[in-house]
Amino acid sequence: MRIAVLPGDGIGTEIVDAAVDVLQALGLPLELETAPVGGAAYESCGHPLPDSTLRVVDAADAVLFGAVGDWKYDTLERSLRPEQAILGLRKHLGLFANFRPALCYPELVGASTLRPDLVSGLDILIVRELTGDVYFGQPRGRRTATDGPFPGTAEAFDTMRYSRPEIERIARVAFDAARKRKQAGSAGKVTSVDKANVLETSGLWREVVTDIAAGYPDIAFEHMYVDNAAMQLVRNPRHFDVIVTGNLFGDILSDEAAMLTGSIGMLASASMNDAGKGLFEPSHGSAPDIAGKNVANPLATILSAAMMLRFSLGQPAAASAIEAAVKNVLAQGLRTADIHSNGCTLVGTREMGAAVVRAL
């Protein structure tokens, strides 16, 4: 089982090191090859996603990714900025389906900014479309306005677009996931989030998801506008089981959902293509504000490695063992700064990683 390891920038190296230690402790025949990406690759190769890194990715069965980005690259032209690496990898591998489970562990109920009675027992899956929408739509650019309220002035524009097959395949992924979760005791419900009262793309989205829903009579189904979904996520988050939405809305809602779980440092993610190859990364960014200080929470990355074992490498038992080890260290009262509360033991990134290895 070959894994491409792309630590990236900021806290990327620290959290990926912790996850690699956990993977190596499993005793599985894993071959890990590390390659630069993001700002680190720009520094060493002049491009955030060099061909040499793409070769490592193509030869691998799965990709373990840290995070990319740093404010010091904000003045680079857009195509050379670190963030282009993750967008480029999603496009290169066709990673259209992003799974972001937002799970509130009983031990972290007090770390959420919401009342314990709202978040305890929370278990939501956000399925975000990842290769379409306004992030990839063409045309985009800058020009001088020829119409609108201020003709003759500089303006910028992006294009939000979705085709029927793009919506069909992500909807199927969401309904299949809801069915699988139902077998494991979840509600068996899909909430499709859009802005169909305003946007043409959302109008098509709603039509297509409704068509796909007809093939899943065992799964409850509803539509919700994105502004209402943002509100319901903090008003009554347990209303949701599986949320399926487009790239832009999913980006925002999944960060919001992260805070329900206590910290963005707890939120794992898997991005899959239709061949079952995936890229596994924490939902957060490179956190330059805390990089190099041994304070970042590595659990989202460790849990992403567990998703990699389950989704791409066919090792569900190893995945469950990692998840149980994470629960175990939380039950021991070990906490990084982002999830720390009174009475718990404050530990750093390395110590948290080592504790998971011990628990394994």
Tokens 């857009």 sit on residue: 78
Minimum distance from residue 174 beta carbon to ligand NAD (Å): 21
CA angle 252, 253, 257 (to 5 degrees): 125
Q: What is the spatial distance between Cα 134 and Cα 247, in angstroms, rounded to a whole number?
A: 8
Of residues 255-274, those binding ligand NAD (CB under 6 A): 264-265
Residue 70 lies near ligand NAD (rule: CB under 6 A): yes
Cβ(203)–Cβ(196) below 8 Å: yes
Amino acid of residue 352: M
Q: Which of 197, 198, 199, 177 is nearest to 187 (CA)?
A: 177
Nearest distance, CB of residue 112 and ligand NAD, angstroms: 15
296 annotated to bind ligand: yes
Active-site position among 195, 241, 277, 338: 195
255 as an active site residue: the answer is yes
Applying CB under 6 A, does 285 fall inside the site for ligand NAD? yes
Is 327 known to be catalytic? no
Q: How many CB atoms lie within 10 A of CB 197?
A: 10
Site string for ligand NAD, 171-210 (x = CB under 6 A): ----------------------------------------
Q: Which is nearer to ligand NAD, 174 or 279 (CB)?
A: 279
Burial of 17 (0-12, 13-18, 19+ CB in 10 A): middle
| Minimum distance of ligand NAD from residue 352's CB (angstroms) | 10
Distance between CA atoms of residues 177 and 270, nearest Å? 13
236 annotated to bind ligand: no
Positions in 290-309 near ligand NAD (CB under 6 A): 290, 296-297, 300
Per the CB < 8 A criterion, the answer to whether 89 and 95 are in contact is yes
Q: 58, 211, 227, 274: which one is catalytic?
A: 227
Q: Is 117 annotated as a binding residue?
A: no
Question: Is 316:310 a contact under the CB 8 Å cutoff?
Answer: yes
What is the SS3 assignment for 20?
helix
SS3 66: strand
Asked if 116 and 260 touch (Cβ cutoff 8 Å), the reply is no
- Does residue 48 interact with ligand NAD by CB under 6 A? no
Would residue 227 show up in a list of annotated catalytic residues for this protein? yes
Q: Is 112 in the site for ligand NAD (CB under 6 A)?
A: no
- Size of the residue set binding ligand NAD (CB under 6 A): 22
* C-beta of 5 vs 171, nearer to ligand NAD: 5
The reply to whether 286 sits near ligand NAD by the rule CB under 6 A is yes
Residues that bind ligand NAD (CB under 6 A): 11, 15, 67-70, 83, 86, 264-265, 281, 284-290, 296-297, 300, 338
